[in-house]
Structure 1
Amino acid sequence: MNYWPLAGIALVVVGFALRFNPLLVVALSALVTGVLGGLDPLAVIEALGKAFNDNRYISVTWIVLPVIGLLERHGLQERARTLIAKVESATMGRLLVLYLVFRQITAALGMKDIGGHPQTVRPLVAPMAEAAAERSHADLTTRERERVRAMAAATDNVGLFFGEDIFFAIASILLIQGVFETHGYALTPLQLSVWAIPTAICAFAIHGSRLLAFDRKLGSVRR
């Protein structure tokens, strides 16, 4: 068995670790993987072009960005901060745990685009998490504020990544099914989705505990 094509994975890891341009890293990794797998470089580029052309409708989502920009310009983040500041029981940890639940459940139902960094985290979740942290633990330092924002972004990532595999019609499940089928294992998408549930539960428990621990750490620093 030829394991050289797996070098593309190592290239992705190294490129991201060195903070190179993600698009360049992914494109180069795809080219390297194809060539090491025995494909002609032109065939790899052709496959990339065909995939982009077949999925060009994805670019329609960029239309929503100007709308979000206008909402932010007219005070969307400030409104979100004001709203969460009025909730006495709200803390940064509790808020993000609730968002994690929401993100996982909606992704598991196939509504993976209902959230996301540009349309939800930046204009709503991150400002609300900052406001909750400030209300509970007083003013935040620049480093603490950045960590709160990072936790908000990570919560969206974890919720989507481990929630979407529960939805049996998602592309990742169909890809896994195809790989198993080529090796002689006949599994239905529903069977694979069911086995994604324990992983999603573990991801929720681990990341939820990290959120609450970080919230407590902010409180201990303030005291």
Structure 2
Amino acid sequence: MNYWPLIGIALVVLGFALRFNPLLVVAIAAIATGMLGGLDLVPVVEALGKAFNDNRYISITWIVLPVIGLLERYGLQQRARTLIENVRAATMGRLLLLYLIFRQATAALGLTSVAGHAQTVRPLVAPMAEAAAVKTHGELGEDEREQVLGMAAATDNVGLFFGEDIFVAIASILLIQGVFDSYGYELTPLQLSVWAIPTAICAFLIHGGRLLWFDRRLGPASGGTQP
């Protein structure tokens, strides 16, 4: 077997570790993988261009981003903060836990694009989580603020990643089925989806526990000050 194409994985890991431009890292890794797999440069570039052109969701980006930019300019984040500050029982942990439930449930139904970093986390979830943390624990230090924003982004990742595999028609399930089939294991997408449910439940419990623990850890001991 030819293991040279696996160098593409190492390139991705190295590029991300060195914090190079993610798009550049992925493009170089894809080209290297194709050429090490025996393809010429032109067919590899053609395959990348075809995949980019065939992905109809690419054009949605040019619609969503300007709309979100306009909403932020006219105070969307400020409105989100004001809303969460008026909810007495709202805490950062509870808010992100509810978003985790929403993200996993919608992803399990195949609605993977109904939320995301650009359209949901940045303009709504992250500002609301930050406002909830400030309301509960007082003003946060810069490190604590960055951790809150990072936890909001991580919640979206966990909810999507472990929720989408429950949907039978998702690409990851079909990929897993194809790999098993190549080794002689005949499994249906439904069987794989059913066995993804325990993993999704474990991911919810683990990340949900991390959210609540992180919320309790914030406060005077970590740099915030009680109001």
TM category, shorter: over 0.9
- The answer for the alignment partner of 2:114 in structure 1 is 114
Say how many residue pairs are matched.
223
Q: How does 1:123-202 map to 2 (within 5 A)?
A: 123-202=123-202
Task: For residues 13-69 of structure 1, give each alpha carbon's deviation from its aligned partner in whole angstroms, at most 9, with x where no partner exists.
Answer: 110010011111111111111122222222222211221122144222320111111
Q: Does 1:47 align with 2:47?
A: yes
- The answer for the alignment partner of 1:205 in structure 2 is 205
Measured in 2, the distance between the counterparts of 1:181 and 1:20 equals: 36
Task: For residues 184-216 of structure 1, give each alpha carbon's deviation from its aligned partner in whole angstroms, at most 9, with x where no partner exists.
Answer: 222111111111111111211221111111111
Measured in 2, the distance between the counterparts of 1:62 and 1:103 equals: 23
Which residue identity is paired with 2:44?
A: V
- The answer for the alignment partner of 1:36 in structure 2 is 36
Measured in 2, the distance between the counterparts of 1:101 and 1:94 equals: 11
SS at match of 1:2: coil
Measured in 2, the distance between the counterparts of 1:61 and 1:119 equals: 10
- The answer for the alignment partner of 1:7 in structure 2 is 7
Which residue identity is paired with 1:95?
A: L
SS at match of 1:107: helix
Q: CA RMSD in A?
A: 1.4
Task: For residues 111-139 of structure 1, give each alpha carbon's deviation from its aligned partner in whole angstroms, at most 9, with x where no partner exists.
Answer: 11111111111111011101110110011
Measured in 1, the distance between the counterparts of 2:195 and 2:62 equals: 34
For structure 2, the residue ranges without an aligned partner over 5 or more in a row are none
* TM-score relative to the length of structure 2: 0.93
- The answer for the alignment partner of 2:62 in structure 1 is 62
Which residue identity is paired with 1:131?
A: A
- The answer for the alignment partner of 1:78 in structure 2 is 78
Which residue identity is paired with 1:176?
A: I
Which residue identity is paired with 2:108?
A: A
* TM-score relative to the length of structure 1: 0.95
Comparing 105-114 with 69-78, greater Cα deviation is found at 69-78
Measured in 1, the distance between the counterparts of 2:86 and 2:57 equals: 41
Q: Does 1:214 align with 2:175?
A: no
Comparing 140-149 with 97-106, greater Cα deviation is found at 140-149
The 8 Å contact of residues 52 and 58 in structure 2, kept in 1 or not, is answered as no
Task: For residues 133-178 of structure 1, give each alpha carbon's deviation from its aligned partner in whole angstroms, at most 9, with x where no partner exists.
Answer: 0110011112211111111011111111111111111111112212
Measured in 1, the distance between the counterparts of 2:143 and 2:24 equals: 29
Comparing 15-24 with 192-201, greater Cα deviation is found at 192-201
Q: Percent identity?
A: 77
Task: For residues 81-126 of structure 1, give each alpha carbon's deviation from its aligned partner in whole angstroms, at most 9, with x where no partner exists.
Answer: 1111111111111110110111000000011111111111111101
- In terms of fraction of residues, the more helix-rich structure is 1
SS at match of 1:90: coil
Measured in 2, the distance between the counterparts of 1:100 and 1:55 equals: 27
The 8 Å contact of residues 4 and 36 in structure 2, kept in 1 or not, is answered as yes
